[in-house]
């Protein structure tokens, strides 16, 4: 399949990063979100990222202008012209399945439907379509333009052709594809999120201050940022959603979300994006 146009459905932090990376790889990118203001914010985020790259001498003005010109805001109906769609909406199985059902009816028969889900079963998302062989997981890491890994997750019916298409696309986007099986949380979040959850338990139980917990992991384990800072960066609501998927899908009490994590999410303390999580941020 010759791929020219990619649609990214979801223009938040992950979707904007995916759109930028696809445009840098030379694709025409259609950026959609059900909230138009989110697309506007996503385009602003992309432009700011590109300007930073230019200021650091990594891209010329002509290159940044060319990348940005390949990205255009779109309505969902424009998926009819897309060769490949990457879904990057909130980590909610019902919402993702409904979006896949809609896209399946709009997209051309050859189009692949990929999900950037960080934990949800690809087989169940594929069941919402009439093209399960063309549905696959393509899990980027955050921040997308910087992080090299892409987890590639086949559903039960995903074809070999679809898997190879995604791997080649990841390489073209300057990423390293790693294929993992369709288990809750895949590999990255099955390992990462319990570590973050345990750090929240340490804070909840009074084992140490948030600063001390983060410093131990940074200085003792050489992590670039502490687990509580990382949770704020990811979004505490996203962390909670992934822990709930792990807990429900694997049935092991070691994946039980910490009550403090639930409390913060209930309070609207979602991390950096809301201005407050374990730490406070200027908005």
Just list the catalytic residues.
118, 139, 151, 189
Establish whether 118 is an annotated binding residue: yes
Establish whether 277 is an annotated binding residue: no
Residues with Cβ < 8 Å from 228, sequence gap 6 or more?
196, 199, 200, 203, 210, 213, 214, 278, 279
- Work out the number of other CB atoms within 10 angstroms of the CB of residue 160: 9
Establish whether 10 is an annotated binding residue: yes
The residue among 120, 119, 85 whose CA lies nearest residue 100 is 85
Establish whether 193 is an annotated binding residue: no
Residues with Cβ < 8 Å from 36, sequence gap 6 or more?
73
* Residue 221 in tokens: 């384990």
The residue among 174, 137, 170 whose CA lies nearest residue 152 is 137
Establish whether 14 is an annotated binding residue: yes
Establish whether 12 is an annotated binding residue: yes
The residue among 85, 184, 174 whose CA lies nearest residue 136 is 85
For residue 143, whether the previous peptide bond is cis, meaning omega lies within 30 degrees of 0, is: yes
Strands (DSSP E) along 17-59, which ranges?
A: 28-32
Which positions make up the binding site for NAD(+)? 10-15, 33, 91, 96, 118, 142, 273
Which positions make up the binding site? 10-15, 33, 91, 96, 118, 142, 273
């Amino acid at each position: 399949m010759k791929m020219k146009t990619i649609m990214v459905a979801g223009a938040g932090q992950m979707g904007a990063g995916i759109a930028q990376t696809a445009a840098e790889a030379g694709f025409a990118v259609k950026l959609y979100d059900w909230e138009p203001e989110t697309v506007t914010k996503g385009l602003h985020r992309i432009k700011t990222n590109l300007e930073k790259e230019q200021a650091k001498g990594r891209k010329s003005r002509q290159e940044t202008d060319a990348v940005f010109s390949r990205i255009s805001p779109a309505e969902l109906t424009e998926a009819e012209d897309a060769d490949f769609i990457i879904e990057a909406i909130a980590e909610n199985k019902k919402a993702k399945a409904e979006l896949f059902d809609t896209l399946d009816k709009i997209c051309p028969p050859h189009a692949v439907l990929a999900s950037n889900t960080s934990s949800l079963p690809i087989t169940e998302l594929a069941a919402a379509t009439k093209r399960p062989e063309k549905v696959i997981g393509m899990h980027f890491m955050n921040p997308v333009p910087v992080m090299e890994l892409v987890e590639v997750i086949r559903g039960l019916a995903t074809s070999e052709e679809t898997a190879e298409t995604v791997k080649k696309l990841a390489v073209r986007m300057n990423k390293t594809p790693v294929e993992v099986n369709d288990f809750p949380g895949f590999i990255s979040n099955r390992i990462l999120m319990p570590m973050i959850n345990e750090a929240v338990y340490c804070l909840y139980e009074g084992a140490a201050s948030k600063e001390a917990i983060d410093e131990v992991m940074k200085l003792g384990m050489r992590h670039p940022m502490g687990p509580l800072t990382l949770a704020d960066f990811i979004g505490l609501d996203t962390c909670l959603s992934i822990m709930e998927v792990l807990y429900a899908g694997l049935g092991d009490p070691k994946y039980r979300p910490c009550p403090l994590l639930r409390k913060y999410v209930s309070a609207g303390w979602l991390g950096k994006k809301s201005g407050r999580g374990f730490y406070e941020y200027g908005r």
